[in-house]
Amino acid sequence: MKFDVNHLQWTRQPKSCVISQDRIEIVTLPHTDLWQRTYYHFRNDNAPVLQMRTEETFFSFVVKTEFPQSHHRFDQCGVVVYLNAENWLKGSIEYENDHFQHLGSVVTNHGYSDWATTEIPASIKSMWYRLSRREDDFCIECSEDGVVFRQMRVCHLHEAKGEVQFGIYACSPEDSSFRAVFTNMELTPCKWLAHDGQVPDDAL
C-alpha cells in the first residue's frame, strides 16, 4: 500500500490547495471546523478533509505538518480518519494565543465528540504525526523530529469496520485563514505493535 495523492478524495474543498506527490498545501476558509455536540452543544461539519480509502486493517500513516501562518484561536491542521459527520477522529495542534497552543485529539463516536489536549508553546510551528490502525482501534502519535514518536491517544471508532478513509485536514473555526503544509507522507506496515501484557479476554 502506498500513499498516492492520485487516490485522494476531498470531503469539502478548501479555499485553495496545491497538491503534488511530495507536498500538499491547503489554505483554509474562515468558520470551518469538525465538532459534534459534546459540551458546546453545537455541531460543525464543514472542514476540508483530504483522504484515501483502504480496507487494510493494520497500517501506519506518517505526515509532517507545518503551519507558520497559524495565528488565530483554533487554527489547526493534522491527521484525520473521517468516516462520516458523526464518526471520525483527528489529531492536531490548535493555536490558542501568543503564549500557548493545544496539542491534542478529538474522537467522535455516534455524534458525540471528546477533546484531549496538552498545552505546548505557541512558538512550535511544525509537528509530525503517526496514525496507526489495528482493525477498529487507532493510535495517534506525535514527533518533533520525525524519528522519536510519543503516544497522544489510543481510541476506538465503533463504525470503523472494513474500509475506512484517512488522511489530512486543516480548518479555521473562527474568522481566520492560514496556509497548512503537509510533507513526508508515508504508509508503512503497522508500527503500533500488538499489546504484550494481559491476555485478551476472548483468548482465555
Look at residue 174 and tell me if it is in a domain: yes
Check whether 203 has a pLDDT greater than 80.
Answer: no
- Residues 6 and 129: their CA atoms lie apart, in Å, by 21
What CATH code is carried by the domain that includes residue 126? 2.60.120.200
Q: Average pLDDT for residues 22-49, to the nearest whole number?
A: 95
* pLDDT value at residue 80: 98
Alpha-carbon distance values, 114 to 86, 100, 140 (Å): 12, 21, 15
Look at residue 72 and tell me if it is in a domain: yes
Asked if 188 and 141 touch (Cβ cutoff 8 Å), the reply is no
Q: Tell me the residue range of the domain where 103 lies.
A: 5-195
Q: What is the pLDDT of residues 55-83, one digit of tens each?
A: 999 999 999 999 999 999 999 999 999 99
What does DSSP assign to residue 192? S
Look at residue 204 and tell me if it is in a domain: no
* pLDDT value at residue 204: 66
Task: Give the chain's domain count.
Answer: 1
Look at residue 202 and tell me if it is in a domain: no
Look at residue 125 and tell me if it is in a domain: yes
Look at residue 109 and tell me if it is in a domain: yes
Q: Average pLDDT for residues 106-135, to the nearest whole number?
A: 98
Look at residue 200 and tell me if it is in a domain: no
Reported pTM: 0.95
Check whether 101 has a pLDDT greater than 80.
Answer: yes
154 contact partners, CB below 8 Å, separation of at least 6: 137, 138, 139
Q: What is the pLDDT of residues 149-190, one digit of tens each?
A: 999 999 999 999 999 999 999 999 999 999 999 999 999 999
Look at residue 201 and tell me if it is in a domain: no
Extract the C-alpha cell encoding 78: 493534522
Q: Name the nearest CA neighbour of 118 among 130, 102, 141, 95.
A: 102
User: 111: helix, coil or strand?
Assistant: coil
The sign one gets for the Cα dihedral 36, 100, 143, 155 is negative
Question: In the structure, what pLDDT confidence band is assigned to residue 201 with cuts at 50, 70 and 90?
Answer: confident
* pLDDT value at residue 202: 75
Q: Name the nearest CA neighbour of 11 among 90, 68, 106.
A: 90
